[in-house]
Amino acid sequence: MNLVEIKKLIEIFNHSEITRLSLKQNDFELKLDKQPVFDPAIPSQIHPTTHTPPQPIIQNAPQIPTPSAPCSESGDFITSPMVGTFYRCPSPDSAPYVNVGDTIKKGQTIGIIEAMKIMNEIEAEYDCKIISLEVNDAQPVEYGTKLIKVEKI
C-alpha cells in the first residue's frame, strides 16, 4: 500500500461514521480509531443518535401486521435463544409463520433468527395460542428477548 492510498483511506475514514478500522496486508498493518468530538455547547451531542440504515422496499409483498401490545410483562412467552435478527416469514414475499390468534403445536416454527448469516428456525416448546407479537419483523433481538406472548393449551 502506498502513501497516496493510505491518505485516501484516512480521508474516507475521517468523513465516515466508522469509529474503528483495522487493515493488515502482508507485513503492513494500519489501525485507525477515532472518538467523536464532544462539544457541550451543541445540544444535539448531549443525546447521541444512532444511524439506521435504509430498509429495502419490497413491492407486492403481503402485509405483515405489526405486533399488538408489545412488551407485555406477565404471561408465557416464546423467547429468543440467541442474538440475531428475527424474521416472521421464511422469505420477504411469503406469509408469516404465525399470526395473533393462531393455535400452534409443539415443534411448529414461529419464526427465524438470522445469526452470522445462518437462518435458525425458532420452534414452539409446547402447544399454545398466540396472544400477541412482541417484536417486529426484521428486528434485532438478544438472548431472552420476548418474541411472542402465548397461552399454553
Asked whether residue 32 falls in the same domain as residue 82, the answer is no
C-beta of residue 48 within 8 angstroms of C-beta of residue 41: no
Asked whether residue 80 falls in the same domain as residue 135, the answer is yes
Residues 19 and 44: their CA atoms lie apart, in Å, by: 19
Helices (H) and strands (E) in the chain, counts: 1, 10
Asked whether residue 80 falls in the same domain as residue 131, the answer is yes
CATH number at residue 140: 2.40.50.100
Structural domain span for residue 26: 3-38
C-beta of residue 21 within 8 angstroms of C-beta of residue 32: yes
Domain assignment present for residue 55? The answer is no
- Please report the pLDDT score of residue 12 as a whole number: 82
C-beta of residue 83 within 8 angstroms of C-beta of residue 141: yes
Domain assignment present for residue 82? The answer is yes
Asked whether residue 82 falls in the same domain as residue 21, the answer is no
Average the pLDDT over 50-57 and give the result.
53
Domain assignment present for residue 53? The answer is no
Q: Residue 79: CB partners within 8 Å, gap ≥ 6?
A: 144, 145, 146, 147
Average the pLDDT over 65-80 and give the result.
66
What total of structural domains would you count in the chain?
Answer: 2
Percentage of the chain beyond pLDDT 90 is 45
Torsion (CA) 38, 43, 46, 50 in degrees, nearest 10:
-90
In the chain, the N- to C-terminal Cα span, in Å, equals 64
Asked whether residue 32 falls in the same domain as residue 80, the answer is no
Domain assignment present for residue 28? The answer is yes
Asked whether residue 83 falls in the same domain as residue 19, the answer is no
Domain assignment present for residue 63? The answer is no
Domain assignment present for residue 31? The answer is yes
Asked whether residue 146 falls in the same domain as residue 86, the answer is yes
Say whether 148 sits in a helix, a strand or coil.
strand
94-110 pLDDT, tens digit per residue, is: 999 999 999 999 999 99
- Between 31 and 53, name the one with better pLDDT: 31
The residue among 113, 110, 117 whose CA lies nearest residue 141 is 113
- Between 34 and 65, name the one with better pLDDT: 34
Domain assignment present for residue 65? The answer is no
Domain assignment present for residue 109? The answer is yes
Amino acid at 7: K
